[in-house]
Structures are given as structure tokens and as C-alpha cells.
Amino acid sequence: MVTERWYIILEASELPPDRPLGVTRLGERLVLWRHGGAVHATSDRCPHRGASLAMGKVQGGCVACPFHGFEFDGDGKCTRIPEYGANRKPPAAMRTRGYPLREAHGFLWLWWGVVPDTLPEIPWFAELDSSYVWHGFSDDWDTHYTRAVENQLDFTHLPFVHHNSIGRGLPQTLGVITESEGDRLKISYDPATYDAKGFFVELIAPNLWRNRLAPGIWAVAAFVPVEGNKTRLYLRFYQNHLRLPLFGWLMCYVANVVNRRILRQDKDVVLEQLPREVTHDIREVLVASDAPIAIWRRWLRTNGKMNVEEEAE
Ligand code: FES
Ligand SMILES: [Fe+2]
């Protein structure tokens, strides 16, 4: 996994207040909890004798282990050992691993890697602001998240995989243009080969993506690494044409009925791709339209460098 990045790990609405939630993300068993407007994540394993903290309780801002009641804050530090009473402090070694966790844009974001003094801002798409109404759904895929991301960087599959839906009538000979900066990768059709009327996709690596379908209409996806070859996709439909809450939401809901069908077409193909994980030494023969995939693979290989110049640093 590329380190020192924010990863989307959950829909924010999936974490209830004052109740610990156990999830596996990025190959780790984590406990998440929400209290007083703040969200926290630590390793799920109690450093005392290995119980699952997710089976415990939220006490104030801390999670309390179900086995002997030890309490841990969001940094993973033990703040209370009940048998010690009030006069004896927990030893410093009694700690589990804490992970910075933030809530933004309806997602929970986990910081993966060394924690700097100042964490970078949560990345997002500036246009997708509060004027938009959205509806989302999730889907679990038995493949590595790298394959799920690559599928959404691939324009050439549209007239094949989606020949009877969004790819109907699309020419098979199309050029793509890729632009990359920092963790962002934008892909559009070469206007010399096809007038796509503003259709493009953009990835914010590692796991956030959007697709401009029409003015004020976007598909947004998060590809959440669970463990090994397991990925959870969060798909959202955003629009800012119908802003009345119920009608706007209903429009997004109906659009997602179609999106589920389209996603099913992708899933059928992608789940059979081998190997399931895109590793550094993957042996595949790329062609011209795979340029975005080559850039993404370089980003994976270099721990987060999109551009050739960055790689040379
Ligand atoms: S195992 Fe968690 S407090 Fe003992
Ligand atoms: Fe697709």
C-alpha cells in the first residue's frame, strides 16, 4: 500500500455515535468509534491480552475493552486500568496503534503511514460542494483494490463491456488524453478522435474517483482496500439540478438503479482478471490507451509519484 496518504475507508453514516465498530481495512482489524463530534480509529487488538476492542464500549472519548475494562484513547494510549484505581497510572507500554481518522464529504478517511506533525488536508473535488445532492450504495468485490481502480481508468472497455449500456455506439478507435499532477490523474477523450461533450474521469490516488457525465452530474466512487483480494466500492451519484431534498435524492436513487447495472457489467469481467492484484512485477502488455494505467502503476511502484520527473527525484 502506498503510504503517507488519506484512504477513504467507510461511509461516515455507517459509524453510529458512542458504539464501537469493528472493521477490516487495509488488511488491519480496526476499531472505530464516534463521540462528541470526533471520530477515532485504533487497532482492534487490546494490548493487555488480545481481546477485540470492538466488542467493548465507548466511555467518554475512549474505547473500553470488554475483557478487563482497560480504556484507550484515539492515539491508542491506555488512559485507565480499572484495577489500579485512581492513584496508579497505566504503564506507557500499555498502548495499541492509533490511526488519524477524519470525517469529510460523508466519508471516513484514515491516515496510512508515518504521521507527520501536520497532516495534509483531505483531498476532494472542489466543484462537488454543498450545492449537490447525492445518493450512494456499496458493493463488495473479491479482487484487489488496484484492479477495481484500473477498471475506472480504462476508456477502451466501454464499447465492449458496456456495449448495450453506456458504451453503446461508441467508436472502438478512440484516443485518450491523460494529465497528471500530484496524486491526481485526469483522463479524457482526444477531441481529434471523439467529441465526448465534456465527459472525463479523474482519480485522486489512492482511492477516490469521479466521472463527469454531464454539466452538474457526476458519478463518484471510492475503492476501499479491505484485505488481500477484497475491496469495497462506494458509488455515489451527484447532481445539482434538482436540489429539493426529496426530489433531488430520488433522482440520484433512480440513476443508481442504472449505475448498479453498469457496475455489474464491470464486476463480471474484473473479478475474473488474473492476477487479482496489480503488483510491481506484473507481466502485462499495455497498449496506447492504457497510458493512464501505466501512470497509476508508476504511482503504486514509486510510493506515490505520478510523474516521470517526480520518479527521478
Ligand atoms: S484483554 Fe483487554 S483489558 Fe484485558
Ligand atoms: Fe466500466
Q: In angstroms, what is the span from residue 280 Cα to ligand 1's centroid?
A: 40
Q: In angstroms, what is the span from residue 113 Cα to ligand 1's centroid?
A: 26
What is the pLDDT of the chain when averaged over all its residues? Answer: 95
Task: Tell me: pLDDT of 259 over 70.
Answer: yes
Please indicate, yes or no, if residue 308 is contained in any of the structural domains. yes
Q: In angstroms, what is the span from residue 121 Cα to ligand 2's centroid?
A: 30
From 43, 46, 55, mutation site for ligand 1 pocket: most ligand atoms within 8 A of C-beta: 46
Domains held by the chain: number: 2
pLDDT value for 169: 87
pLDDT value for 170: 87
DSSP codes joined into one string, 90-103: PPTT-B--EE-EEE
Please indicate, yes or no, if residue 117 is contained in any of the structural domains. no
pLDDT value for 173: 86
pLDDT value for 93: 98
Q: In angstroms, what is the span from residue 200 Cα to ligand 2's centroid?
A: 13
Atom of ligand 1 nearest to the CA of 56: 2
Q: What percentage of the chain carries pLDDT values higher than 70?
A: 98
- 65 touches 56 (CB < 8 A): yes
User: Nearest 5 degrees, angle CA 169-CA 173-CA 178?
Assistant: 110
Indicate if the alpha-carbon torsion angle 70, 53, 107, 300 is positive or negative: positive
Task: Tell me: pLDDT of 310 over 70.
Answer: no
Residues 103, 175 within the same domain:
no
Q: What percentage of the chain carries pLDDT values higher than 90?
A: 91
Cell numbers representing residue 146 in the block: 488496484
Q: What is the CATH number of the domain that holds 206?
A: 3.90.380.10
Report helix, strand and coil shares of the chain as percent, to nearest 5: 20, 35, 45
Q: pLDDT digit string (tens) for 196-207?
A: 889 999 999 999
Residue list, CB under 5 A from ion ligand 2: 266
Residue 41: Cβ-neighbour burial (10 angstroms; 0-12, 13-18, 19+): buried
pLDDT confidence band for 305 (50 / 70 / 90)? confident
- 278 touches 223 (CB < 8 A): no
Please indicate, yes or no, if residue 125 is contained in any of the structural domains. no
Residues 188, 60 within the same domain:
no
Lowest average pLDDT, out of 134-143, 195-204, 267-276, goes to: 195-204
CB burial string 178-190: b at 16+ within 10 A, e below: bebeebebbbbbe
Q: pLDDT digit string (tens) for 228-250?
A: 999 999 999 999 999 888 899 99
